[in-house]
Structure 1
Amino acid sequence: MRYMATYDLMETIRNTNQWLGATALAMGAYPAFSLVPNPAFAWMQAWGEVTERTFQRMVVKPDWNIPPVTSSDGQDHVVATEVVVERNFGDLLHFVVPGRDVPERKVLLVAPMSGHYATLLRSTVISLLPDADLYITDWHNARDIPVSAGKFDIEDYTLYLVDFLRELGPDTHVIAVCQPAPLTLAATAYLAEEDPEAQPRSLTLIGGPIDPNAAPTDVTDFGHRMTMGQLEEIMIQRVGFKYPGVGRLVYPGLLQLSSFISMNAETHTKAFTDQIGRVARGEAADHDKHNKFYDEYLAVMDMPAEFYLSTVERIFKDGEIARNEFTVAGKKVDIGKITTVAVKTVEGTKDDISAPGQCIAALDLCTGLPDSKKASHVEEGAGHYGIFAGKSWRRNIRPLVLDFIDANSGKKPGKPRKAANKNAA
């Protein structure tokens, strides 16, 4: 499947469905049909509206849309984004809140490169902003990156994190969500040997596959069942002529989305059927629960082929992080060299992506870290999404993470720094 034709075929199918939806919407809304009391036209219009929105969202990067933050001065402050470090495959993004005193907690949120944009963590960002000076890794869509930019695998990802941490300095607290947890742990260990002064103060790993074999799931079973040759043949395609990354080998976002949906096909089918009914009855809204969820869920990005394949081979199949045998640029990274960075793991009992046991394995790898700097939390009844963005995160996990950060900051909790711009609105 490693051809532009297959990539362009998928894009053609997506584009055709978007066009069919737009056509049905326009026909159903034709004024003359209002003279005919037939509900079929209302259903046609509703089907078209839902279908057009669904397929159009698949190629659009969502906006952050962060609401204003209420500060200690009682005023609402707008939130802006600022690129601190700009790279080909991803940027270090800063959420700037002009006019407020900057919180002492400097937090780097490491977003996954796993098919969705960093905006998947929007609710996590919103929950942390009032209490933290927040940064995030904003990974780029591989289809928009020219082939001349070169490769990007898990070693490159790790070195990006190293550079971001060096930029932020030693007072940083890192929260890694899901897929990047093992690579963030490796980046911290790399700094422990190469540049100890740039290490963060704390590292919180949420639902990450440190040791995928500690608690097998459908994800780990799939990784072991498929050979690397099969994965490369089935999953990898070349970006078509429509995008700047033409010719780049990628794991296409549309192909990933089909896999996501097939895992819960009945649930998604019912969700869209119900939404069509709500639109036909005039009960839907632009930002209702369905649209808020699927506008983000359907917005997928292409993943560099070498990153996807090296993740499966080295993290899941060979377990290089779990065995403490990971190498970066020919240098072995020893996780046991972490001696000063406090490490906390967070898991959910109902996590079917990174089951309990996979993430807490990080604590056993930190052989050079005293028990006083290790912590773990297992959230009862929480699924994968819930432990970083759902009700469990908001009510229980977030306060625990902030307490962990404060306990390892060496400063008074929440003490504000000087305002970034006192004259700003």
Structure 2
Amino acid sequence: MSDFDAVDVIRAKRDGRALSDGEIDWVVAAYTDGRVADEQMSALLMAIYLNGMEDREISRWTEAMIRSGERMVLDVDRPTTDKHSTGGVGDKITLPLAPLVAACGAVVPQLSGRGLGHTGGTLDKLESIPGWRAQLTSEEYRAQLRDVGAVICAAGDTLAPADKKLYALRDVTGTVDAIPLIASSIMSKKIAEGAQALTLDVKFGSGAFMREYIDAERLAYTMVRLGSDAGVITTALLTSMDAPLGRSAGNALEVAEALDVLAGGGPPDVVELTLALAREMLASVGIDRDPADVLASGGAMDKWREMIAAQGGDPAAPLPVARETHTVVASESGVLTGMDAYAVGIAAWRLGAGRARKEDAVSATAGVTWHAVVGDRIVKDQPIFTLHSDDPGRFGRALEALEGALRIEIDQQFTAPPLIRETIRG
């Protein structure tokens, strides 16, 4: 017979009491193995959402989720460092970043996810490459880390299974955006991955999960503390997602842009953020190399080809291209002082690049490209957006999403705000 009861735990948090370590350990384990019902955990999640958690509670909740599965041991002889982004529009940074950091001498174990709603998923993007596969066995995963130095793949079912079950419940109970639950969800998986160091890209703004800077900052501090307490060297960069990142949102479109970066070009903001994250990842494990030099040398592109081939992909194969396009032009002349990342993300989603439910299929070719960025001077009738889809019937709703997405002003003194606002180190 258990020392704890689900209703007592719910009442405690409902009434604002901090849960004990024993209560947290029990309720997470009992929910994972089915002894606590969905409706009971739903009530507890809502109580947490409304009343919050102390730092100690968040740490213990995270530890309990890690203990629900395996904590991986990476059998490699080089420093291991990982990166996680809280998600945004046009955020393809993982694609050039993982091979770049690996080419600098670190090992990058990147367990990634799929897109939902207006934000894209790294695995969806990579699956636009012919032959590439996201699912690897544990043996294949470890072998690729040893032989190639980097892997981007789906997480297995043994990694923090409590989080998988809890996230599905949060999604349908209106409790996703609670900082204790977000932080423990992200960090339980990342700590369980087994890397020595973790660099977080915590986004704020219209296209981010956390729209307000103060909330993103609080989330970043919470995650850095969780990582540091667990013995993982953790750093967070707070980066703007008011405007979309790069020049494209969509699966194959973003892979093409990542390839431009690896070839020594690409949009300046994507290059800036890739290099900033790479420097943090390398510094955290004591590797003194300038990733800009490695990028310029072509070493990162070579590593990319190795990574793609190791997972069955053909790095030389052409990427799929949408059968239909539609161009949107500027309605007036002036300086582009705003491009709503959320609106662009919704347009890409409606074109087929994203999914409404986790089981939905996505289009490899759908998406949006933009031909000007915040701070640019534009003229009336200049092409601003190109919509891409195999189904031209999707253009209408995508165009509705983009109505009002641009802010154009006459002010010639406008300077675009910085991409990286703050760095938090553990």
The verdict on a shared fold, with TM-score over 0.5 as the criterion, is no
Band of TM-score, shorter chain: under 0.3
TM-score, length basis structure 1: 0.24
Structure showing greater Rg = 1
